[in-house]
Amino acid sequence: MSNPVVSLCIPTNGIIKWLIPVLESIYAQNVDEKLYEVVVTDNGRNLKFKNAINKYISTKTNFVYKKTSAEGFLNQIESFKITRGLFLKFINHRMVLLPGALQAFIDFALENMENKPVVYFSNGKLLNLRKEITVNNSFDKFVCTLSYWSSWSAGIALWKEDLALLDKIKFNNLFPHTDILFLRRDHEEYIVDNRILLHEIPTNWAFKGSYDLFNAFAVEYISIILNLFRDGNISKKTFLKVKRDNFSYISDRYIVYIFLKKKSSFDFTGYTDSINFFYSIFHVRVSVLRLPLLALQILIRRIKSKRIRKLQIAGE
């Protein structure tokens, strides 16, 4: 069998109610199954999970399942390593593919297989972008365009030939996907694809993650961006922009989980120390005064997102 064009990589911890709809959305795309493969790596402890997906294991020749002991976000790396496709697209196990999404990934791979640009699929999250496709001619501009969304694993994709580079780096346990995104810092073309191609399954945040949220985003992530600046890969202006934009995210999380005490499975141990590492807990607490403005911003984001989706549907 010849190698597929695209590998859809789905690391999971065995949540059946999330993954089954994702798999259904993939195989409902009516795309030739020889053009793609689906790779599921499972690091969960759900004994019923494999039985739940057995129909795909037993009937789909382009379906690959592997049980793994890779912990947390490193499961992503495990899924990449066993692929056969030319182009590898990470798929979050809570995100279903919208009609036409799979073909969009395949078309992208075929159209760009010669130059193999670095690409990030932001799925409509970057509301400030006027174009669906933004091409950056430098790594600095790419990092600046993405801002703190470079921490979001759902947009990650890479070329098969990039896998050889993975053995040369030490991955951040919380952000291995960001390490992958920043692998090639001297390429001539960086693309941000802001089309809405996936939809997240409504999720109870009480079961979404158990890692230390504020240490992850207020310390670990900003340390990665700081190292880019120290190594001369990005400008001071870009570093400060990402850091400033990320402050808004940290403040929002503080309001939701610390001030409003929304139930979640995240670890908030030592959140004050984590925030004070690069920011100021005082300034974050002042952000509570922004609650009315925050509510308005969320409403505006939702309206913009719906408009973008309507325009895309109209153009299909």
In terms of domains, do 189 and 283 share one? no
- What number is the average pLDDT over the span 32-58? 91
Asked if residue 97 is part of any domain, the answer here is: yes
Confidence check: pLDDT of 246 > 70: yes
In terms of domains, do 13 and 121 share one? yes
- What number is the average pLDDT over the span 202-220? 83
- What number is the average pLDDT over the span 50-67? 92
Query: What's residue 289's pLDDT?
Result: 75
Confidence check: pLDDT of 314 > 60: no
Percentages (nearest 5) of helix, strand, coil residues in the chain: 50, 15, 35
CA distances 96 to 19, 198, 256, Å, are 9, 6, 26
- pLDDT grade for 31, boundaries at 50, 70 and 90: very high
- pLDDT grade for 173, boundaries at 50, 70 and 90: confident
Query: CB neighbours of 182 closer than 8 A, spacing ≥ 6?
Result: 139, 143, 150, 224, 228, 233
Mean per-residue pLDDT over the chain, rounded: 90
In terms of domains, do 134 and 51 share one? yes
Contact 123, 155 (CB under 8 A): yes
> Helix (H, G, I), strand (E, B), or coil: what is residue 12?
strand
Percentage, residues of the chain above pLDDT 90:
68
> Helix (H, G, I), strand (E, B), or coil: what is residue 209?
coil
Query: What's residue 222's pLDDT?
Result: 98
In terms of domains, do 67 and 171 share one? yes
Query: What's residue 127's pLDDT?
Result: 85
CATH number at residue 134: 3.90.550.10
In terms of domains, do 68 and 130 share one? yes
Return the axis-axis angle of helices 221-230 and 236-253, rounded to nearest 10°.
170
Residue with tokens 């994702």: 22
- What number is the average pLDDT over the span 256-283? 93
In terms of domains, do 233 and 294 share one? yes
Percentage, residues of the chain above pLDDT 70:
90
Confidence check: pLDDT of 316 > 60: no
Q: With the CA atoms of 252, 92, 119 and 310 taken in that order, what torsion angle do they form, in degrees rounded to the nearest 10?
A: -70
Contact 224, 172 (CB under 8 A): yes
Q: With the CA atoms of 43, 153, 39 and 46 taken in that order, what torsion angle do they form, in degrees rounded to the nearest 10?
A: 30
Query: What's residue 101's pLDDT?
Result: 98
Query: What's residue 47's pLDDT?
Result: 80
- pLDDT grade for 35, boundaries at 50, 70 and 90: very high
- pLDDT grade for 203, boundaries at 50, 70 and 90: confident
- Would you give the DSSP letter of residue 175? -
Asked if residue 315 is part of any domain, the answer here is: no
- What number is the average pLDDT over the span 7-36? 94
More confident residue, 45 or 56: 56
The last residue of one of the domains, among 202, 217, 237, is 202
In terms of domains, do 246 and 275 share one? yes
Contact 45, 125 (CB under 8 A): no
CA 228, CA 241: separation in Å to the nearest integer? 13
Query: What's residue 305's pLDDT?
Result: 66
For 303, the domain range is 205-308
In terms of domains, do 271 and 190 share one? no
Confidence check: pLDDT of 296 > 60: yes
The last residue of one of the domains, among 160, 181, 202, is 202
The last residue of one of the domains, among 146, 167, 202, is 202
Least confident of 39-43, 48-52, 292-296: 292-296
Q: How many domains does the chain have?
A: 2
More confident residue, 173 or 27: 27
- What number is the average pLDDT over the span 159-176? 89
In terms of domains, do 45 and 99 share one? yes
Confidence check: pLDDT of 298 > 80: no
pLDDT single digits (tens) 226-245? 999 999 999 999 999 999 99
- What number is the average pLDDT over the span 116-144? 95
- H or E, element range at 244: helix 236-253
Confidence check: pLDDT of 306 > 80: no
